[in-house]
Structure 1
Amino acid sequence: MNPSPSADVGPRQEDAIEAKAFIDLYQAARGQLPDEERFDCVSLQGGCVISLPRAPATGLNRILGLGKTEDLDEAYKWMEGRRGNRFLQLNIDAASDAVKHWVQSKGLIPHGPGWAKLARNADAVADLAPGAVKTRQVLPEEARLFGAMMCAGFGFPEDLAALWSSIVGRDGWSCHYALDGDTPVGTGAMFASGSFAWLGGGTTVPSFRNRGAQKALIYARLQEGLARGVSTFVVETEALSPEKANISNANLTKMGFVHRYNRANFLLG
């Protein structure tokens, strides 16, 4: 039975595994970044609120996975004390009437194209072709390089590399390189918990783009998840728009991912 449109609802499982991944990222990295970065995160009713003001990415400065007005109130108050750009990510189409009214009462409007959530199950993962680009898991002694490559790929300050290097070898995480010969040219990460896994951290060095690295990294993580007993994989990309090509979405679709829903990014004042 579907919930009434007037009733508050909790987070979807696709959002819950993403929130778990970022909560665990925070727990891994909080002792690796200096206090002046003001990196903080709170787990809240299956979702989370996370803030790293110097990080340019929406994913590290947002409210995620909350569907009740009282939880949104708590998260909003927490975010009011933070610096930098701050966002609420919300599937507004599935939100209750109460949550829609809450968004309107705060004067929030969507910012940018929003994010699309895609997912696929484990069926037929073993039948996918690995592609020509080779991959391998990141070794513990390569954690710093992995973090630096992630920062470069996402436009982060280089001195935030410890954020991403902290997950290499950590329980629940799987970190991968795409290779040109023996040289790492792309990155990908996966966080698995129970039967769900979240895929993120997909970057490729500019000189190696459009040569199959990301598809190879998707394949590697699907195979790793299959070995860990994952039955559902989830990932996000920028929402599709007629004005802009979306290579990431195209790669994921070729690997069996299907669109589940969109989340708007509401910029908090």
Structure 2
Amino acid sequence: MDRPSASRQTVPEEDIIEAKAFVDLFMIAPQTLVDQAEFRCMQLAVGCAISLPSAPAIGLNRVLGIVALEDLNTAYEWMSKKAGRRYLQMNAATAPQQTHDWIRKRGLVPQGNGWAKLRRTAPSTPLIHSGEVATRQVKVTEAEIFGSMMCAGFNFPANLTPLWSAIVGKDGWSCFFAELDGRPIATGAMYTADGFAWLGGGATVPEFRNRGAQKALITARLNRGASQGVQTFVVETAQPSADEPNISHANLIVAGFEQIYTRTNYRFPDGS
């Protein structure tokens, strides 16, 4: 079977909702953080290019959901002027040959095992989580605590706390704590739009890992989304391998998610 041409290739809904979440994250970020951290985002068609050089995460320094070569050129030129490590994320298995040629021509190189993209439908009845960990939604007055926990969990510099604090209480966003004996020990976030929900922000305080916090947070977000009319949930995590297992991936599979593809992370050449 021939691969689709770049002009006919379409962006999956599972990537569109993810791009929407990060565009919205940029739109609600405090202007002082945008200015001081040189946080930038450009929306192209249904995808985006996003740059936050001081964040070590690929998720905030990447091109996502863009398939047309003209748009890829625009995103590449834009991203090439940014600092830090930068990536193009692409489902290599469905990308047309001309896109692979474009990637090679610009010196973008695959790095790591890539990301697993997973999806599941909404539960038909509320799910029940049993265990010592409880969950609840984050109050607006706890936004800074939520933001600081996420920064600590993802090894972000503390000055990026306002980035994650800003989503608490905002339209489209639901933020959760997992608690043990009344103490917040983990975070989880969800962005919803057009019947889809993107799950992210899963971070656990190191000394409380392997206690079931993320399983509880997955359940809480599935129930919350279903009550809001979400029909499809999507999430991404590091692609596991025999040498590098991934607990998050295992938790999602147990929770009913199905992996739909693996996304390759193509790193921009240094100095581009």
The reply on whether 1:165 has 2:194 as its aligned counterpart is no
Counterpart mapping for 1:1-269 below 5 A: 4-8=3-7, 9-33=9-33, 35-124=35-124, 126=126, 128-132=127-131, 133-269=133-269
Deviation at 1:77? 0.2
AA aligned to 2:163 is: L
In structure 1, what is the Cα distance between the partners aligned to 2:146 and 2:192? 19
AA aligned to 1:25 is: L
Instruction: Show structure 1 runs of 5+ residues with no match.
Output: none
AA aligned to 2:211 is: R
In structure 2, what is the Cα distance between the partners aligned to 1:156 and 1:12? 29
In structure 1, what is the Cα distance between the partners aligned to 2:34 and 2:64? 25
Does the aligned pair in 2 maintain the 1:131–1:215 contact within 8 Å?
A: no
In structure 2, what is the Cα distance between the partners aligned to 1:208 and 1:85? 30
Does the aligned pair in 1 maintain the 2:120–2:258 contact within 8 Å?
A: yes
In structure 1, what is the Cα distance between the partners aligned to 2:42 and 2:140? 28
* Identity of matched residues, %: 52
Q: SS at 1:245's partner residue?
A: coil
Does the aligned pair in 1 maintain the 2:123–2:223 contact within 8 Å?
A: no
Does the aligned pair in 1 maintain the 2:3–2:94 contact within 8 Å?
A: no
In structure 2, what is the Cα distance between the partners aligned to 1:145 and 1:245? 30
Q: SS at 1:92's partner residue?
A: coil
Q: SS at 2:265's partner residue?
A: strand
| Distance change in 2, residues 1:232/1:81 (3 Å) | same
Q: SS at 1:113's partner residue?
A: coil
Does the aligned pair in 1 maintain the 2:30–2:166 contact within 8 Å?
A: no
Alignment TM-score, normalising by the size of structure 1: 0.96
In structure 1, what is the Cα distance between the partners aligned to 2:53 and 2:239? 24
In structure 2, what is the Cα distance between the partners aligned to 1:265 and 1:40? 20
RMSD value over aligned CA atoms?
1.4
Aligned length: 267
Query: Runs ≥4 in structure 1, deviation > 4 angstroms?
Result: none
Greater shift in the superposed pair: 218-227 or 89-98: 89-98
In structure 1, what is the Cα distance between the partners aligned to 2:62 and 2:135? 32
Q: Deviations over 1:200-232 (max 9, x none)?
A: 000111111111100000000000000110000
Deviation at 1:99? 1.0
In structure 1, what is the Cα distance between the partners aligned to 2:116 and 2:252? 12
Deviation at 1:178? 0.1
In structure 2, what is the Cα distance between the partners aligned to 1:62 and 1:124? 35
Instruction: Show structure 2 runs of 5+ residues with no match.
Output: none
In structure 1, what is the Cα distance between the partners aligned to 2:125 and 2:147? 28
AA aligned to 1:226 is: A
Q: SS at 1:223's partner residue?
A: helix
Alignment TM-score, normalising by the size of structure 2: 0.95
| Distance change in 2, residues 1:254/1:119 (3 Å) | same
In structure 2, what is the Cα distance between the partners aligned to 1:91 and 1:55? 24
AA aligned to 1:27 is: M
In structure 2, what is the Cα distance between the partners aligned to 1:248 and 1:34? 30
Q: Deviations over 1:155-201 (max 9, x none)?
A: 00011100000000000000000001111000000000011000000
Does the aligned pair in 2 maintain the 1:189–1:202 contact within 8 Å?
A: yes
Deviation at 1:124? 3.7
| Distance change in 2, residues 1:75/1:7 (3 Å) | closer
In structure 1, what is the Cα distance between the partners aligned to 2:181 and 2:172? 28
In structure 1, what is the Cα distance between the partners aligned to 2:151 and 2:141? 18
Greater shift in the superposed pair: 44-53 or 93-102: 93-102
Greater shift in the superposed pair: 100-109 or 233-242: 100-109
AA aligned to 2:18 is: E
In structure 2, what is the Cα distance between the partners aligned to 1:16 and 1:202? 20
